């Protein structure tokens, strides 16, 4: 199907992009890598009046350190996130999850910011961003503001982004020395996750000192598994302690029901995958 007609703007700076969005009104759309938006346009599930293409905004790409934070530009591709030494050192969970995203072609075009702003609860990068306590920097006509990931994801495909704002940076507190694992279950290769679990832990002498756990596709937004985290802190990373912690994985969740799985099956998957992810991250 051919998309509906629209105006096309290709700014070269963040300020120009914000101005273009403000001028176009609430029916404008931003295109980053295009891996989620283009299929939607082709199916006419969206019909923007204006498309603002961020492909030329160089300041939105790259990874850098800023004190205790790792800062990743919103237009940084999945491919570049996978291969960045700073990400591997300070946000290993994000690299682990990015390795599982779709296929090499999509990872070369898709962007971290685009995936986050799209806010698909089955997407692989929302739960890691939540588990890592990331903050999202948004730019609009009134300047920039920073929103914690826990407040950014509001509902199915719905975020704190206003119609005239751009996601420009992802700021992640450094998790240097933390081990991580992303455990994903899908029916066929490269499909969306039925359920996935993002885990990162800091251990000392086999004891879990800190833990961060978040779930993919267990609600309309990514879900932080606080019960699992609390059960892990201060315990030896053994099979019994991990199983006990994983039993809390589905608490407070509201999984979707579709042709792949019902609520109870997804809750069962969450517990099983959480146990596997913790064991892998903790080296148990």
For the domain that residue 91 is a member of, what is the CATH number? 3.30.465.10
Of the residues 173, 188, 221, the one at which a domain ends: 173
d(CA 230, CA 210): 9
* Measured CA angle at 53 (ends 49, 59), to 5 deg: 145
Looking at the fold, whether 38 and 118 belong to one and the same domain comes out as no
Looking at the fold, whether 91 and 129 belong to one and the same domain comes out as yes
Domain count, the chain: 3
Looking at the fold, whether 41 and 68 belong to one and the same domain comes out as no
Looking at the fold, whether 120 and 63 belong to one and the same domain comes out as yes
Name the residue range of residue 38's domain: 7-53
pLDDT on residue 45: 83
Average pLDDT, integer, range 108-121: 97
d(CA 50, CA 5): 9
For 152-205, the pLDDT digits (tens) are 999 999 999 999 999 999 999 999 999 999 999 998 766 789 999 999 999 999
Of the residues 153, 173, 193, the one at which a domain ends: 173
Is 90 exceeded by the pLDDT of residue 38?
A: no
Q: For the chain, what percent of residues have pLDDT higher than 70?
A: 99
Of the residues 173, 194, 227, the one at which a domain ends: 173
Predicted TM-score (pTM) of this structure: 0.96
Assess if residue 2 is contained within a domain.
no
Beta pairing partners, 145: 138
Average pLDDT, integer, range 246-252: 98
Looking at the fold, whether 156 and 224 belong to one and the same domain comes out as no
CATH of the domain at 223: 3.30.390.50
Assess if residue 18 is contained within a domain.
yes
Looking at the fold, whether 189 and 277 belong to one and the same domain comes out as yes
Looking at the fold, whether 129 and 162 belong to one and the same domain comes out as yes
Q: H or E segment at 231?
A: helix 226-232
Q: For the chain, what percent of residues have pLDDT higher than 90?
A: 89
Is 70 exceeded by the pLDDT of residue 133?
A: yes
């Amino acid at each position: 199907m051919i998309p509906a007609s629209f105006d096309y703007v290709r700014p070269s700076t963040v300020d120009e992009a914000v101005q273009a969005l403000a001028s176009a009104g609430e029916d404008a759309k931003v295109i980053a890598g295009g891996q989620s938006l283009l299929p939607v346009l082709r199916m006419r599930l969206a019909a923007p009046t204006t498309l603002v293409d961020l492909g030329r905004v160089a300041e939105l790409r790259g990874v850098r350190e800023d004190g205790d934070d790792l800062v990743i530009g919103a237009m940084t591709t999945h491919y570049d996130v996978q291969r960045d030494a700073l990400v591997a050192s300070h946000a290993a969970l994000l690299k682990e999850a990015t390795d599982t995203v779709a296929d090499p072609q999509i990872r070369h075009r898709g962007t971290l910011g685009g995936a986050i702003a799209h806010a698909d609860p089955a997407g692989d990068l929302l739960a890691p961003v939540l588990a890592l306590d990331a903050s999202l920097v948004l730019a609009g006509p009134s300047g920039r503001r920073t929103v914690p990931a826990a407040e950014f994801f509001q509902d199915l495909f719905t975020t704190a982004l206003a119609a005239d704002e751009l996601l420009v940076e992802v700021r992640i507190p450094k998790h240097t020395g933390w081990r991580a694992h992303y455990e994903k279950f899908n029916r066929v290769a490269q499909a969306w996750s039925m359920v996935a679990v993002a885990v990162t832990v800091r251990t000392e002498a086999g004891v879990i000192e800190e833990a961060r756990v978040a779930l993919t596709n267990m609600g309309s937004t990514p879900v932080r598994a606080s019960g699992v985290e609390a059960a892990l802190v201060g315990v030896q990373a053994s099979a019994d302690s991990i199983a006990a912690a994983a039993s809390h994985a589905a608490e407070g969740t509201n999984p979707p029901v579709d042709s792949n799985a019902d609520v109870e099956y997804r809750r069962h998957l969450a517990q099983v995958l959480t146990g596997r992810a913790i064991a892998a991250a903790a080296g148990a």
